[in-house]
Amino acid sequence: MRWTLQPKPSQEDVQKLATKLQVDLSIASLLLQRSIDTYDKAKSFFRPSLEELHDPFLMRDMDKAVTRILLAIEQGENILVFGDYDVDGTTSVALVSSYLKTITPQVATYIPDRYAEGYGVSYAGIDYAADNDITLIIALDCGVKAIDKVAYAKEKGVDFIICDHHRPGDQLPAAVAILDPKREDCHYPYDELCGCGVGFKLISGIALSRKQNLQELHPYLDLVATAIGADIVPITGENRILAYYGLQVINEAPRPGFEAIIKQVKKQTLTITDVVFIIAPRINAAGRMKHGNHAVTLLTETDYDAACQYAIEIEQYNTDRKEADKQITEEALAQIKAYKEEDKKTTVVYQEDWHKGVIGIVASRLTETYYRPTLVFTKSGDKLAASARSVKGFDVYNALHACDEFIEQFGGHKYAAGLTLREEDYPKFKARFEEVVSQTCDERLLVPEIRIDTEINLDQITPKFYRILKQFAPFGPGNMRPTFMTKNLVDTGYGKKVGAEETHLKVTVAQHGKESRIGGIGFNLGDKHELITNQKPFMAAYSLDENEWNNEVSLQLRLKDIK
């Protein structure tokens, strides 16, 4: 692990802010690192307000999109809400379709089949619209690169409104409206919305045009918060406000579909991390193992008993997904070892019978193991399809762009992308990708980094300190859970390896010469046990959380690494 200590704000600025806010110096330092340097910014951070959301009409083409949708409603047109099969896509479709159904009954939904149609807008979806007298498609979380498909729809008399958050290409589709804050000619104040976030801005625009109170849209924020967490977009600006209130909805008044999932996993209060690891995988499992329609059905169901039945089905898909993921990961790791691929700067593996629905998860697992930009390929029809994942700081989207002579189609983000290519181009692509990464990736990025916010002493960890830290949530990119470093620690004699295979490390530590003691757990740090034996001093990088044992709650260190 590579430890990187974040730059310290000036002592004068820290003192000034601490006095203004009446907080500990360490808290003031953490806030300054997050560019929170005034009372008003701190107020917005700790008490996010829906009043601070931007006017949706600041987004390019919002007026055109709203006008066309209201015209469709007025004229009694059939509308198709189309979205991708992942969490961001299915939550977007659930959000926009359920809102539109409060105004008009003439709304249908469409999720492309991952295997038959692939990612994004599909010809089959357009044919479905034309065959069913649908004259307007609203595409969510996809479409900004669908130039040929939008043209094809136009020939069939079907209009398109695109709501996307992916980077557009050099040319835009000939749609009625393209809502995408990443458009170069769009000057919307916040460009990190997820697809469901753009969908929420669209229904906000429609609601405002219909003189609705935006409070009426509050119940839809559980979907937006789930998409924000699952799509790993920054939890800053508008995303922070939407996630904050969306979590409130999930915990206080969840829609029947979420309530049914939460009941199955028996979890009390969900954080954004729980949404990412509990709700999102289950919604994703439908599109991975069966069909994304199942997720939309669960998320739009208004009857709790029916939602429970759908949740049971989705739980089974998730179990199947876990089994497939485990098996493919083992096969991929064996392949890497057999061909000594671990010596390269990239991890690229292929097997034609791997389940297309789980290769993204496998790519993430391999990235965790070898910490390299990773691609996992499988056969998809007469082509090869891959999921790409990257390491922190390296833009895999740009790397793929540099290999585009061998790629048929690709899209995505800095850290996650998807692509297809012809089987005969696989060896050339693999060599070229290795070459591009070797030339452009800084060696240091291939060593996992722990970014440490600040150094503290154990006696600074008090219930009040932790109470304020908890209010930094929701955590995520752009506002990660604070990581601390403490030096001169010694184990008080209770340190041991724990877990079925002794892979984890449990400790109770004190700081040399001080009385404060605190417990700690380090997952997958069992092999570091030797460092803490015989009162040897060590330093630790950790975050703070609560440990509940025998109905007693105590603070503990969640160890990330020790040296």
State yes or no: pLDDT of 512 exceeds 90: no
Domain spanning 56-313: which CATH class is it, in words?
A: alpha beta
Average of per-residue pLDDT across 358-387 = 95
Domain 56-313 matches domain 339-446 at the CATH topology level:
no
Q: Helices (DSSP H) in 132-236: which residue ranges? A: 147-155, 195-209, 221-230
State yes or no: pLDDT of 459 exceeds 80: yes
What is the pLDDT at residue 171? 95
State yes or no: pLDDT of 319 exceeds 80: yes
Tokens of 197: 């976030």
Task: Please tell me the least confidently modeled range out of 178-182, 222-226, 483-487, 499-503.
Answer: 499-503
State yes or no: pLDDT of 522 exceeds 80: yes
Q: CA-CA distance, 349 to 346, in Å (whole number)?
A: 10
Tokens of 181: 């804050």
State yes or no: pLDDT of 200 exceeds 90: yes
State yes or no: pLDDT of 411 exceeds 90: no
- Of residues 6 and 342, which shows the higher confidence score? 6
What is the pLDDT at residue 549? 82
Q: Where are the domains of the chain?
A: 2-47+450-562, 56-313, 339-446
Q: Is 195 in contact with 164 (CB distance < 8 Å)? A: yes
What is the pLDDT at residue 513? 77
Q: Is 1 in contact with 562 (CB distance < 8 Å)? A: no
Helices H / strands E in the chain, number of each: 19, 19
- Of residues 552 and 248, which shows the higher confidence score? 248
Paired strand residues for 80: 108, 137
Identify the DSSP state of 290: I
User: What value does the mean pLDDT of the chain take?
Assistant: 95
What is the pLDDT at residue 466? 96
2-47+450-562 has which fold?
OB fold (Dihydrolipoamide Acetyltransferase, E2P) (2.40.50)
Please state which architecture CATH assigns to domain 339-446: Roll (3.10)
| Angle CA 230–470–250, to nearest 5 | 45
Tokens of 174: 């000939």
Average of per-residue pLDDT across 504-529 = 93
State yes or no: pLDDT of 122 exceeds 90: yes
Q: Is 428 in contact with 483 (CB distance < 8 Å)? A: no
Residues 6+ apart with CB under 8 A from 446: 345, 371, 372, 391
- The pLDDT tens digits for 62-110 are 999 999 999 999 999 999 999 999 999 999 999 999 999 999 999 999 9
Band the pLDDT of 507: cuts 50, 70, 90: very high
Q: Phi-psi category of 513—alpha, beta or left, where left has phi over 0 and alpha has psi -120 to 50?
A: left
Element (H, E) at 405: none
Q: CA-CA distance, 197 to 243, in Å (whole number)?
A: 10
% of the chain beyond a pLDDT of 70: 100
Paired strand residues for 543: 558
Strands (E), 8-124: 78-83, 107-110
